[in-house]
Structure 1
Amino acid sequence: PDASSLGFYPKDYDMCPQHKEKLKLFCEDDQELICLICRDSNKHKNHRVYPINEAARYYKHELALMVESLKKKHVHHQIIKANYEENLTQLMDEVSLTEQRIGRVFVHLHEYLRLEEENIMQELHNDAWQHFTVLEEIIMQLAFESTSISDTIQSVSEDLTQEDAIIFLMVRIRMAISDPKDVSVKIDGAKYKFLMLYNSWKKMVNEIGFNTASLSLDSDSAHWNLLIFNNMTSVTYSHNLKKPPSKTSRFSVYPFVLAKQGFSSGVHYWEVFVGCKADWVLGVTKQSVQRKAPISLAPQDGLWTLEKKGRHYVANSVPHVVIFSGFKPKKIGVYLDYEAGQVSFYNADKMNLMYTFKDTFTETLHPLFSPGMNFTPLRILHVNP
């Protein structure tokens, strides 16, 4: 059936409204149906004009291609949607598991702290009881001596009436009485106000199973323009250093230095004071990293690093991720979970996550530091309890 019989269009839908001629052509330039007279008019002069059936076949083909493209986009959107839904489910599961873990940890910590409180209180009471016993013994001794002194006073008062000088002096010699000692018994304030609480805190950190890494810089790995000082915990760039002997362990291209400590298992955390430095690089690197030739700072070369370049923070992933942030952290925290394949960087001033790398580690990892090519130092902060 034609369109007019279906009631969609008027009966003369295929007629030119201007010339009342059959519409037989399609003007590509004006995107409209025209008749033969329209084609010869000035309006459509030199335009690209095609027979209607040919134009219809062309646009049907174009439309079919568009439909195929839309189908592919639809499938792609469905896949992306499914990925996000899976991500949402995983996130909800992760939140639930994390909530449970936090709950278990705090239940354990509450019980641990309760027992620690009981132990400290018991030790305080034991110390106090020992002091009480000493004081009671002293008080009893003083009471006995006080009674003895009262008796002596009465006896001496009677002896004062003795008129025989020899007898009086003999009695006087036997009257020697020692003075009581002034004894001060106190609780060890430092022990209970600080030392035992500090010890409990250290044990609590161990209860959590969290290792705050105590790091020192490895001078044998340091680029020759780096000066290490402050008990091997600070590093700065300098142009005035004498070039040290070449070593296979020394970085010769980039101003890098590694920590002496390496990790092949476990969870570790350390903090670095960066202050207001404009440039620095922090992270971890595999022990076998290339030290004598140019490399990227990315995981494919065995480095998982966060870098500051001027006002921007850049995670050296593939591709690089620029971290836009209104804050300027003075301290950067680095968290390494070896088994989970995770390296995370935090604004340690507020404990806000900046970026996380996920990977698989197969060899020992060393903390990496670079103060950039400026003279303000980086400083490792020892956060061990």
Structure 2
Amino acid sequence: MACANTSWSEENFSCSICLDVFKSPVTTACGHNFCRTCITKFWDEQVQDKCPVCNKLFNTRPDLQVNTFLSELLAQFRTSVGVKGQPCVEPAEVPCDVCIGTQQKAVKSCLMCFTSYCQTHLEPHQRVAGLKKHRLVEPMDRLEDRMCKKHDRLLELFCQTEQVCVCLLCPVTDHKSHPVVPLKEEYKVKTAQLGKRRAEVPQKIQERKQKIKEIKDTVELSNKDADREIAQGGQVFTALIGCVEKGRDEFNQTVKEKLKSTVKRSEDLIKELEQEIEDLTNRSSEVKRLSHTEDHLSFLQTFRSLKDPPPTRDWTTVEVRPPSYEGTLRRSLDQLEETLNMETKKLRDDAELKRVQKYEVDVTLDPDTAHPQLILSEDGKQAHDGGLVKALPHNPKRFKEYICVLTRQSFSSGRFYFEVQVKYKTNWLLGVARESIDRKGRIEWTPETGYWTLWFDKDGLVFGDNTYVDLPLRAELQKVGVFVDYDEGLVSFYDVEARVHIYSATGCTFTEPLYPILDPCSYAGANSGALIISPVNQTD
């Protein structure tokens, strides 16, 4: 191919859109040339595709192909005119520090001159004897940052003590006795560390996504709990409002009854007075007529037949007093307070029981812990005293002194709830115990020894504490619910059938797994029945 015309200027190879030397020149159907990127961006911003020079409209966007002939001419032009004809440096490339105007990409960097050179401006370093001794390296950006500020030498080493890059003279001066290694060696170490960290990132991201899910699940559960609590609270307050309204109606009725009694008495007295008035009026008329009779015989005969005046009441002591309402309101309010207290406790206990029943767990009795005298059902839900001690293999987990059994399941956090049927039993014990309890000797049933239990016998109902807590004996106690909040240190007992709270041990300290524990106590007549772990019947 013939040499490029050296009279050509940069304007001959400039895009009319960006006004710079073509980059990947393409030609439109109307014969005008543009950078591929420029014409594509121009069309993207237009309503209809057209040529920016002649405004020719295109029904469909042309399929642009690189103008190979123009590209070859452009290459020759760059070679012949040097710097001025070079394309702009790409973002990832190092520019020549000597070029004026449009910069050419550097092909080498000189560590003596602290300068990067394109192929044209590198020529003196390849020709001049003094410059040939300079150290040339692959193009580097910001050479001044790669040089030691103190010794004006290339940073080629890494100080492991101070974790900084140093030059060859630094280990002799400021970094004397510090371990230093070549940058390449430290680079391998750091990239390995980076690779490890990068490998950890997906796991950390997944962990945080999981944590977000847990938090969202907690919020969703909290919303449901709040809705349920509001609904239950609404029922409680509605019931209490009903009690207040009933008390108000009873108070109004009491006042009205007192008023009615007063009105009735008044009406009866008035009726009696009116009758006396009528009788007296009639008597007065008869006397008046007789007093006007002048016939002596007739007067005397009539006077003889004149009836005695009707008896009259002494009204001087008779009075009607307004009804007294003193104390009526106070008595009504006292009665209302008593009713509200009873109803509040009943509703509160019912709502509380509903709430803790949500934490029901399925537990079964562990035969390895059962006293040799106990008989367990096949499903592990019932235990009763068989009356005879069975010959069983030694097991360190088995109770020896007391007729007890633990469940297979234990709990070390959170909340759990279970119910035990005690119907027809005259003696029993149940609750929870920690894992390390003494299972062989005689002990006190207290939290100090690892037991949080409720027991029942002929003397009543008791919670085992350092000082035993005597509890009100509940009539016909049939089923007992046990709730534990491990983290809050709470153990609560409930009368399930009556839906009443029996007792709560608060401020407990749990440091070991807790096991539900049952003791049906010795076989003795009416106490021969079993303790039965029952499914929870959750009411709405």
Q: Which has the higher strand share?
A: 1
TM score, norm. by length of structure 1: 0.46
Structure number with the bigger relative contact order (C-alpha 8 A, sep ≥ 6) is 1
User: Which of structures 1 and 2 has the bigger CA Rg?
Assistant: 2
TM score, norm. by length of structure 2: 0.33
